[in-house]
Amino acid sequence: MVTAAAYAVTSSTSPFEKTTIERRELGPLDLLIEIKFAGICHSDIHTAHDEWAGTHYPLVPGHEIAGVVSAVGSDVTRHQVGDRVGVGCFVDSCGECDACRTDDEQYCFNRATGTYNSKGRDGEWTQGGYSTHIVTTERFVLSIPDGLELDVAAPLLCAGITLYSPLAHWGAGPGKKVAVVGMGGLGHVGVKIAHAMGAEVTVLSRSLAKKGDGLKFGADDYYATSDPATFEQLRGKFDLIVNTVSANLDIDAYISMLAINGTLVELGLPEKPIEVGAFSLVRNRRSLAGSLVGGIAETQEMLHFCAEHGIAAEIEVISASEIDEAYDRVLASDVRYRFVIDIATI
């Protein structure tokens, strides 16, 4: 067993505390990864606070993991000691269902094993990247291209693929008008990716406070959704809208901005069910869809795409002792745009 230092919470209201956890013995197809950086995702906060129910404590969150391989199992062929690698939102799947066979492991019919707060095949609860080391099967480990520094690459393992997958699936590219709802940890990466794909990109944000950043990241236009005139002005304009906001919005109002055959893709996870009027969809043959990160092959594709186009998350690096403060700041929308923990500070 490998003993790793980590930061964990023991209840939905407790602060993070330094602890030690045990990682499993290296199997033939396993890698031991020395974690260098771990991004903070809003999902970490939801889970730590048990807002989705079912959190198992003690909990070590973190599924935006970047590090270096420090040991390999006897049958490992894809990676070697010293490789720069990443681990994203899940670390196993059944490998046999239709989803797994088509490289959509995130939709595994038998449920993919999450990087944290999930029971593995051995019956043990997984623990995430707010720790010094992790043991992961090589099939779920990503190679981080040399063109990406580890600290800015970490958030791409969740935020990056969460946006890349729907933008690629629904054909964002030249001649397509794409809107990104929200300019936070997810949205700012989405703007960069959609722009690099060649789409005409518009940001729809509550205010114009981040307009300068949005245009710098590649947006062609930027509108405040707090202004009712925005919805009239943009009615019927977009081929694709990706909603990164987890708050309950007036989805009918956003659907009204879709062109004929347009699609609104829900990425955020609001607390209450989404309400949509049927007429909003039947007019102009519009669609409402959802998307959940991406498979391992697509995530690797995303990393190479980002390296090729110079795309990285905008980050603020923090020490492990600042996790609680960072959570508070995320909830207050006081970060531009993603916190990343320097694991050397554990």
pLDDT in tens, 4-24: 999 999 999 999 999 999 999
Cα gap 85→69, rounded to integer Å: 7
Instruction: Let me know: does 137 contact 163? Beta carbons within 8 Å.
Output: no
Model-level pTM? Answer: 0.95
pLDDT for residue 264: 98
CA angle, residues 136, 96, 299, in degrees to nearest 5: 50
3-class SS of residue 66:
strand
Q: Work out the pLDDT band at 111, boundaries 50, 70, 90.
A: very high
Q: Work out the pLDDT band at 231, boundaries 50, 70, 90.
A: very high
Strands 84-87, 65-72: pairing is: antiparallel
Q: Which residues contact 152 (CB under 8 A, 6 or more apart)?
A: 312, 313, 315, 340
Scan for tokens 């405040």, then name that residue.
Answer: 224
Task: Using the predicted structure, report yes or no on whether residue 272 has a pLDDT greater than 90.
Answer: no
Scan for tokens 């554990």, then name that residue.
Answer: 346
Task: Using the predicted structure, report yes or no on whether residue 163 has a pLDDT greater than 90.
Answer: yes
118-157 b/e (C-beta count within 10 Å ≥ 16 → b): beeeeeebbbbbbbbbbbbbbebbbebeeebebbbbbbbb
Domains, the chain, in order of start with CATH, read 2-158+313-345 (3.90.180.10), 160-290 (3.40.50.720)
Scan for tokens 């929200």, then name that residue.
Answer: 182
pLDDT tens string 28-80: 999 999 999 999 999 999 999 999 999 999 999 999 999 999 999 999 999 99
Of the candidates 254, 296, 293, the one whose C-alpha atom is nearest the C-alpha of residue 275 is 254
Helices (H) and strands (E) in the chain, counts: 11, 17
Task: Using the predicted structure, report yes or no on whether residue 247 has a pLDDT greater than 90.
Answer: no
